[in-house]
Amino acid sequence: MKTIAVLNGPNLNRLGARQPEIYGKASLEDLHTLLQGKAKELGLALSFFQSNHEGALVDEIGRQSDAGVHGLIINPAAFSHTSIALRDAIECSELVTIEVHISNIYSREPFRHHSVTSEVATGVISGLGFEGYSLALQYLAHHLNLTQ
């Protein structure tokens, strides 16, 4: 079965409790359940990883690339705007990568308007809530011809 890696960055483990007016009331576990259902429909397996630590995310991207996953969905969260290390890890992985943001980063504080990681992503989905992850999964499945 083909596998897509789903990585989430800092504070996304606090979904549901953290600023629900921006991020909604659903938890990270709710997101996993939603994506597992979508993956099952598409005949795909998912690998989930979340960390508040930049180096752990960099290491996980390398592990997933070396393990032969077929695509990457990543929400780098605040690291989007600051992490050259994460940007380089994405670029070096050579994985087809979709960057996802739950909120619309362009309608928020000015420092959030630029993402260094999006420069090496295949595409970016911003502001569509959890639906952005589902759309990213659907794109990867069809773009990479992974559906059964």
Whether 32 sits among the annotated catalytic residues: the reply is no
DSSP summary character for residue 70? S
Q: Say if residues 133 and 4 touch (Cβ distance below 8 Å).
A: no
Domain that holds residue 32: 3-143
Answer whether residue 148 is part of any domain: no
Q: Are 115 and 103 in contact (CB under 8 A)?
A: no
98 domain-assigned: yes
pTM, two decimals, is 0.93
Q: Which residues contact 14 (CB under 8 A, 6 or more apart)?
A: none
| Catalytic residue status for 139 | no
Residues 6+ apart with CB under 8 A from 32: 6, 46, 48
CB 73 within 8 A of CB 108: no
User: pLDDT truncated to tens, each residue of the chain (148 aa)?
Assistant: 899 999 999 999 998 888 777 777 888 999 999 999 999 999 999 999 999 999 999 999 999 999 999 999 999 999 999 999 999 999 999 999 999 999 888 877 777 778 999 999 999 999 999 999 999 999 999 988 866 5
CATH of residue 93's domain is 3.40.50.9100
Instruction: Specify the number of domains making up the chain.
Output: 1
The answer to whether position 106 is within a domain reads yes
Q: Which of 53, 70, 81, 101 is catalytic?
A: 101
Please tell me which residue in 23, 32, 133, 143 is annotated as part of the active site.
23
